[in-house]
Amino acid sequence: IRDHYLYERGHLKGSKNIPLRVLRTMPEKYLSIDKTYYLICETGFTSKRLSSILNTKGYHTYSIKSGYEKTSWRKFVQPIYYI
Each residue's pLDDT tens digit, 54-63: 999 999 999 8
Q: State yes or no: pLDDT of 36 exceeds 80.
A: yes
Query: What are the backbone angles phi and psi of residue 65, rounded to the nearest 5°?
Result: -60, 140
pLDDT at 70 over 50: yes
CA angle 19–21–23, rounded 5-degree value: 70
Q: What does the pLDDT read at residue 27?
A: 95
The answer to whether 57 touches 17, Cβ cutoff 8 Å, is no
Higher model confidence: residue 70 or residue 7? 7
Reported as a single tens digit per residue, the pLDDT across 72-81 is: 555 544 444 3
